[in-house]
């Protein structure tokens, strides 16, 4: 049982869970769910579990020894490659080591079952230096998943991962690349389901604005970044979007404060409908109708 719990722990870690999350997930029911899969891995479970642990622990010499003995540099564990595991943690030396053993038929943009690449893992965990490294090694900075239409830059934006965003934009990533619902990175940051701290969201909004993000872009149903911020009640984000500071530091285009979505609703209506009177008053003071 103890051995089984250890392997389950490695499985969770490879999927991105923290040690604290693992403690809450591993119980008798979880163990039972893993029995079938672990039976299939029984013959080789020690080897893969061992190398995954070495990557997670940033054990450069251990990974080097594994590769020197003929270990697969693109081995998958819990459907994530070793490169994905290293990229998520920002282990650049191990990323470079793994890639140095890649053969022509091995892709730096290999995906897991969700369509995520190693670059996406690095972007989502705000590993700016790793993002830069992987792009320079040939990773596709504009990769988009086929199922959920997630983009590399969108993943960075929704996590308010500013270091990753800077690295992506410095390497030519498309700041207007859309994801599901036709969301731009600016929209993704404002409507983030990952980050709830308006201070962090505002910092990302300011960063994207400084890189000339389109503040009048339209989502699938005609929503603008201002409408999304109004619906969230993000007073400070709305204030910035309507400020001279944004104009001075952005693309110089005035925001369409009374733009209407596909149903005729304006940013002011979004604020009112979502019970954000303070934000609604601000929009009205700036000319919103």
Residue 262, Ramachandran bin (φ over 0: left; ψ between -120 and 50: alpha; else beta): alpha
Integer-rounded Cα radius of gyration of the chain:
22
pLDDT band at 147 (very low <50, low <70, confident <90, very high): confident
Average pLDDT for residues 31-53, to the nearest whole number? 57
Give residue 108's pLDDT: 98
For the cut 50, the answer to whether the pLDDT of residue 257 exceeds it is yes
Average pLDDT across the chain, whole number: 89
Number of Cβ atoms within 10 Å of the Cβ of 252: 9
Give residue 89's pLDDT: 98
By percentage, how much of the chain surpasses pLDDT 90? 82
Average pLDDT for residues 37-62, to the nearest whole number? 73
The CA-atom distances, in angstroms, between 52 and each of 37, 56, 60, 73, 79 are 17, 6, 12, 11, 12
The most distant pair of C-alpha atoms in the chain lies apart, rounded to whole Å, by 69
Q: Which of 163, 203, 212, 162 is nearest to 184 (CA)?
A: 212
For the cut 70, the answer to whether the pLDDT of residue 47 exceeds it is no
Token pair for 83: 């490169």
Long-range CB contacts (within 8 A, 24+) of 217-222: 217/176, 217/184, 217/186, 217/187, 218/182, 219/181, 219/182, 219/183, 219/184, 219/187, 220/181, 220/182, 221/181, 221/261, 221/262, 221/263, 222/259, 222/260, 222/261, 222/262, 222/263
Strand partners, 81: 76
Whole-model pTM above 0.85?
no
Give residue 48's pLDDT: 78
For the cut 70, the answer to whether the pLDDT of residue 135 exceeds it is yes
3-state secondary structure of 144: strand
Tell me the pLDDT tens digit for each residue of 224-241.
999 999 999 999 999 999
3-state secondary structure of 60: helix
Give residue 42's pLDDT: 41
Give residue 23's pLDDT: 53
Give residue 3's pLDDT: 37
For the cut 50, the answer to whether the pLDDT of residue 207 exceeds it is yes
> Which parts of the chain are beta strand (E)?
76-77, 80-81
Give residue 12's pLDDT: 43
For the cut 90, the answer to whether the pLDDT of residue 36 exceeds it is no
Q: Report yes or no: 270 and 232 within 8 Å, Cβ to Cβ.
A: no
| Residue matched to tokens 């899969």 | 37
Q: What is the distance between the alpha carbons of residues 21 and 73, in angstroms, rounded to a whole number?
A: 28
Give residue 15's pLDDT: 46
For the cut 50, the answer to whether the pLDDT of residue 43 exceeds it is no
Set out the domains of the chain in order of their start, with CATH numbers.
Answer: 1-106 (no CATH), 111-208 (1.25.40.20), 214-289 (1.25.40.20)
């Amino acid at each position: 049982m103890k051995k089984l719990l250890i392997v389950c722990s490695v499985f969770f870690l490879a999927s991105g869970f923290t040690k604290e999350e693992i403690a809450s997930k591993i119980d008798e029911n979880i163990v039972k769910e893993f029995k079938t899969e672990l039976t299939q891995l029984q013959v080789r479970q020690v080897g893969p579990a061992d190398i995954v642990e070495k990557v997670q622990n940033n054990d450069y010499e251990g990974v080097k020894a594994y590769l020197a003995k003929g270990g697969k540099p693109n081995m998958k564990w819990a459907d994530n490659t070793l490169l994905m595991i290293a990229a998520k943690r920002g282990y650049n030396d191990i990323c470079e080591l793994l890639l140095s053993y890649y053969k022509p038929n091995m892709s730096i943009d290999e995906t897991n079952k969700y369509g995520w690449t190693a670059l996406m893992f690095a972007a989502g965990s705000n590993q700016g230096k790793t993002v830069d490294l992987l792009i320079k090694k040939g990773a596709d900075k504009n990769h988009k998943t086929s199922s959920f239409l997630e983009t590399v830059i969108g993943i960075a934006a929704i996590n308010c991962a500013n270091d990753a965003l800077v690295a992506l934009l410095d390497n030519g990533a498309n700041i207007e690349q859309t994801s599901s619902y036709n969301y731009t990175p600016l929209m993704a940051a404002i409507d983030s389901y990952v980050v709830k701290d308006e201070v962090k969201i505002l910092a990302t909004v300011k960063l994207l604005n400084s890189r000339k993000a389109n503040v009048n872009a339209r989502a699938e149903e005609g929503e603008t970044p201002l409408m999304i911020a109004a619906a969230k009640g993000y007073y400070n984000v709305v204030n910035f979007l309507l400020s001279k500071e944004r104009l001075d530091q952005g693309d110089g285009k005035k925001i369409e404060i009374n733009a209407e979505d596909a149903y005729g609703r304006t940013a002011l209506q979004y604020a009112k409908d979502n019970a954000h009177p303070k934000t609604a008053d601000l929009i009205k003071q700036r000319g919103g109708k």
